[in-house]
Every structure is written in structure tokens, then in C-alpha cells.
A and B are shown apart, each in its own frame.
Chain A
Amino acid sequence: MYGGGSGTHQSKREMSLEYQAQISILRPSIRARRANMTVKFQDVHGFTVEGNVDDVNVLNEVREKLRQQCRVWWALEANKGVNWYLETHVSSTLKSSLKFSALVNAITLKRLIKKGIPLNFRPKVWFSLSGAAKKKSTVPDSYYNDMTSAVFDMVTPATKQIDQDLPRTFPGHPWLDTSDGHSALRRVLVAYSFRDSDVGYCQGLNYVAALLLLVMKTEEDAFWMLAVLLENVLFNDCYTYNLSGCHVDQRVFRDLLAKKCPRIATHLEGIDFDVSLVCTEWFLCLFSKSLPSETTLRVWDILFYEGANVLFNVALAIFKMNEEELLVTHQVGDVINVIQKTTHHLFDPDELLTVAFDKIGFTTTTTISKQRKKQEPAVMAELDQRLRRLNSLHENGDEN
């Protein structure tokens, strides 16, 4: 939709279609300006969002930037070849065979990804750069179809939970909330629950898989993206039976916030606000329930390229952007309001990503891994202790 067409005629036609779309969005907003109220409209991925005139204008600017980026990507393809962005693996090849062009491509790619991958490039760029393509290539072509047909009528705790969640995943979305959308999401989640029995199905993945379906267009590609995400991109214990990885991430994040935003951390601690109260959902849904859809996908652009550290940087940025407001909060509710007001209205991805990657010192995945290793024993001990305490409670309860 956003790709400049192959000929001038086509791109003009697309431009005019885009223009009409903008007018239909702007029309209620002009009235809204007079009434100074919020309007509901559909964003580029079909989600209904509420916002004021400024938000609508920001969204239109974002669309315009997407169009510009699209032209850049087309031009690069024309110059460097269709798969130019795959020839960037400087780190994985021997230094001696390092080619200058690969290095140039790597720098270009990194910069481009920060600016956002255009909608029609996203499926193939994500699929290649995340490692999903490689993962898929190691199994027979029929893997996904065999899997879905083998397990479609099986009933497990995971499938029961998945069935409950299908109509509860972005209800009201024009495609996800249809029988086609539900069936596709079901097949992806059920197939994955059988592929990885440690994870099975964890609530939260419904939102992640739903967005993957919207971006990737095909179920099979969405399935492989989910697989590479859980098995390679993220730390592999995040969604397991006791969410131990999630506990670890929260501890690491708390320390990181204390280091990078000490004033905020001290203040929140002073009013007894545990940042995990808001961060847990961010990390488990990869922001898909908190940020506007295109902003979420812009975070994912970088996530699939750089790794799980991106989640930490973005979470830090959300706090950092609200520093002054957060410092005058007194109650839990105030903090939540400040944070939610920001996340729900972050229609301009660059506003967030600039803070996340330019203003806060970058945190690498290696640093996060090290910190996670440090926290793991304490988390395991805590979870184990809780389990033992509950078991003894239940045993006593059953005896009575």
C-alpha cells in the first residue's frame, strides 16, 4: 500500500488514494478541533484508536515518513540488488574476508532500520534478519502444514486456553476479530504450543502472534517469526510455566533504571512503586498492548535486528520521557496515569526511539545477559520458596 508503484502513473494513483484516506481521517478532526474533544479513527493496521487533533496530525506525518522511507528502500533495491540487506554479516564472517561493501551495507541497514522498515518490506526483511528464514530452511517445507494438521483436533490445557483467548485478542479488529482471523491465530498458537512444550501457551503470546499475523500476511511466516522470537531473539525463559525469565527481567530492569534514571528510581521507590507493576505487561506483550500499533512495530523492527536489549531501552525511554512529571507523583495511581497517558499517545515512533537509542546510553544484549545471570539464582530461590510454602499450605488445607 505504501510502496511507490513501478510506474509514475501507479504511484500517483496511490498517492491520491492515500490523500483521500487522509481527508476522511481529517474531517472529524476539524470538527473535533472546534469541540476540543477526542475522535476515534482507524490506524494504518486497522486498530481503532482515540486521539485528539494533534494525534491525527502526527499519524499523518508518520504515514508521510513511511512513504519517504519506502522510496529509499526501493532505490536501494534498485542500486544494490533485491537482497542487499542480507550481505551485511560482517561479524559472522572472518575478519580477513570482510568486504567493504558489506560494511557499508551494515551501516546503512542499521540506520535505515532505526528509521523504520516500510510496511511492504517488513515481512521479508523481518523474516530474513531475525533468523526465521534460516530456522525454516532446516526443516522440510511441509513442516508447518504437517504440524497444524496433526494437532488441530487435539485438546490440551494449552489449546483450551488458546480457544478462550481468541475472541479476547484485540476484540473489534476488522480482521483479527473474524472467524478467519481467529482460525489463523489458533493454528499458529496451537502449532507452537506443541513445538515447544516448555512454553506451551502463555497468555500474552496471543497479542504477539496476532500482530505477527497482521505484518507477515501468511500464517506460516507468522509461525516462524513466533518461533525465532521465543527461541532466539528473546531470552528463552520468559514465557515458561512459572515466568521465571519475566521475574529475572524485572529485576534487571529495576537495576538498570536505578543506574540510568536514578532520580526517577529513587522517587518511585520512595512512594513504594514497584516498576514491575507496569513493566511486566510491556515485556510479555512486547509493548503490543500499550503502544500504538505502528510504534510497537517500529520497536519490533529493531528488536528483530538487534535483540532483547531493545525492550529494556524502550522501557527506560518511557520512564525517561516522563521524568519531570513522575518526580511530582505521590500515589501509585498518579504514576500509572502519567505512564499510560504517554504510551497510549506515542503515535510518533521517532519520539520514543530517539530517547531510547540516542539519549539513554545504549545497553547491549551482552550486558543484559550478564545481569540476568546474576539475578537468576535469587529468582529461582524465591520462586522455589513460594512453591514450597504453597504446597505445604495446600497439604494442610486438604487434611483439614
Chain B
Amino acid sequence: MTLADVELVRFTPPAAERDGTSNRARQTAHALLRRPGFLIAVAYVVLVVLSAIVPRLFTSGDPTQTAPKDKFLAPSLSHLFGTDELGRDLFTRMVHGSALSIEATAISVGLAVVVGLTIGVVSGYAGGWADSLLMRFVDVLLAIPALLLALAIVTALGFGTVNVAIAVGVGLTPGFARVTRAEVLRVKTLPYVEAARSSGAGPLRVLRRHILPNSWGPVAVLAVLDFGTAILAVSSLSFLGFGAPPPEAEWGSLVAAGRTYLVTSPWLTLLPGLAVGAAVYALNHIGKTFEELQRWH
């Protein structure tokens, strides 16, 4: 579920970049630095993304290295998250698993942004029948609960990280389309756009130079929030068994694998899930902070 749409409240986007924004940028930076919660959230997200790109930075271990003697060890300094039924270090598996999970998240949000932005811009800018047609299509996508639509897509495409990512991305697309359209509609009628148009600027130029730069704000906030939504959706689908096949590890499949040992070794399920939840919470926090800042300006 995305709190994105529920949360998304209209606000004025930052004005054009040219007219002395360095001052505003400095103010914004100051406002952000005064928020320790925001900094912690950013730091955590950066760490997670880093772990996806260079897992070696965080652990020297091998995620598939089994050690039958060390199975089911509780979390300790040498095994931060404990070990699983084959004695594999869970922290190492989490860190290496973030590559697949973050990749899937990035693909789905990327897909949603590109397709949603295109639909939204065309719909808002062109208006008329193109607008009605596209928006009815978006309404239909919204009428199918996103996870179920994702299930249908996964059934058709087959299992695997990329297919799951595509399925999740399709579910996120309508949100982007709507928000972009609303922004374009709002900016389109502002006096300076009218001015640009009446002084002879072509539609593409108006779009590129005047409308897009001023309507990205809410879309960016939604993208940050949807990163969290996508992490949840991707890990849910992977938990249900539709992601990468073992021994590849994703966050969701790690929790699913540990589930069998919930009674005796609860850390196998609870710690990975906690790490995932923290990442989503951090993203939500970042998104909301941006939203608040933009509203003040």
C-alpha cells in the first residue's frame, strides 16, 4: 500500500532554478542539517545502497560458505545476525542479498517513473481525448489491487528478480501518471507559461524549458516514497516464492527460508525483516521531510 498517495499533499514546487536559488539551496541545506532524524535516515539508506553495490565493504565473508559446526548460532559479535541451518552467516547473506533486492526496486521505480511520467505529461499537456483515454486506462490499473496485478504479471512472465521488478513497477505506474498529470495541468496555466507560448515558443520547448522543470517536485517525492513501497512489494513477492531461486538470496526469500526455524531461531526471520522495515521507514521519512520543506517554500 502506498502511503504515497494518501500522503501526497499539494504544494508549490521550487521556482525556476535560475533566479538566485543558491540562497534557497543553502537555506534548504541548513534546514535539513538541523534534522538529526533526516540525517540518520539518509545515512541508513546510503549504507543499504552501498551494500548493494559493494558488499565487500561490509563483510569479507562468503554468503554461500557453509559451516555445519556453526549452525543456528544466535547473533553475536562474530555473527551479527547469527547463522542459518547450514551455518551460513546471515549478515553476509543479507548484505549480498541487497544487491538483488535493490536492483529489483530500482528497476520497478525506474519503470514506473519513465512510463508514468510519459503518460502523465502527454495526458496533462495534450488534454482532450488522449487525456481521457489515458486516464481511463490509469483508473483501470488502479481498480486492480497492485499486488494482484503483479501476481498476474508474474504468472505470465515467469519467476525471477527482474520479472518481479517489472510486475511491481507496473503497479506503481498509475500513481506517477496521476501526480505528473496534476502537476502539468497546474503549471500549464500559469502566466509565465502562457507568456512563453504567446511569444512563439513551440509546444516541445514550452514543455522542456518551462513545464517539466517546475513540475518535478511532487514526482520526486513520490519516487522516494515509492522506493519504500517497491521494497515492500518486491520482498513480499520474493517471500511468497516468486523471486530468484535458491541459493540466491533476496531479502524476502531470506525471511521465508528462516521461517521454518521461527520457534528455535527467531533471529533468522526477525532480523532481516527488521532491516528491511528500517529501510522503508527511512525512505518514508526522507520523502516526508522533502515534502514538508517544499510546502514551506
Real binding pair: no
Question: Interface residues, chain A, CB within 8 Å of chain B?
Answer: none
Question: Interface residues, chain B, CB within 8 Å of chain A?
Answer: none
